[in-house]
Amino acid sequence: MQSITKIPNLLLVGAPKCGTTSLLYWMRQHPEIYHPWAHMPISASESGFLLGGIADHPYSPTKPIGTLLLPNEINMDNYKNQKWIIDKSPQHLYSSKALDSVTNLLPDSRVIITLRNPVDLLISWHGEMNKGIDYDVSFQELIEMIEKEDWEANIEKPDTWPFLTYPQYSNFVNSWIENLGVERVKVIKLSSIANNPKKVLDSLCEWLDLDQTKMPHNLSIKNQGGKLSNNPLRKFLRRPPKFVFTIVRIFIPSRNIRKIILDPIRRMGWKYVPKEKEQISPEIEEKIKNFFNKDIDFFDNIEDFIPPSVLIN
pLDDT in tens, 62-98: 899 999 998 888 889 899 999 999 999 999 999 999 9
How far is it, in rounded angstroms, from Cα 298 to Cα 169? 9
The residues facing 110 across adjacent strands are: 10
Q: Is the dihedral of CA 179, 24, 236, 247 positive or negative?
A: negative
Is the separation of the CB atoms in 167 and 122 below 8 Å? yes
- Which pLDDT score, from 0 to 100, does residue 287 have? 92
CA nearest to 6, candidates 29, 27, 35: 35
In this structure, the number of other CB atoms found within 10 A of the CB of residue 284 comes to: 15
Cα→Cα distances 260→118, 217, 264, Å:
40, 31, 7
SS3 for 40?
coil
CB count within 10 Å of CB 231 equals 13
Q: How far, in Å, CA of 223 to CA of 77, rounded?
A: 26
pTM of the model: 0.87
Question: pLDDT, tens digit, for every residue of 182-215?
Answer: 999 999 999 999 999 999 999 999 999 999 999 9
Domains and CATH numbers, the chain: 10-117+165-224+298-312 (3.40.50.300), 232-267 (no CATH)
Cα–Cα distance for residue pair 75/137, rounded to 1 Å: 35
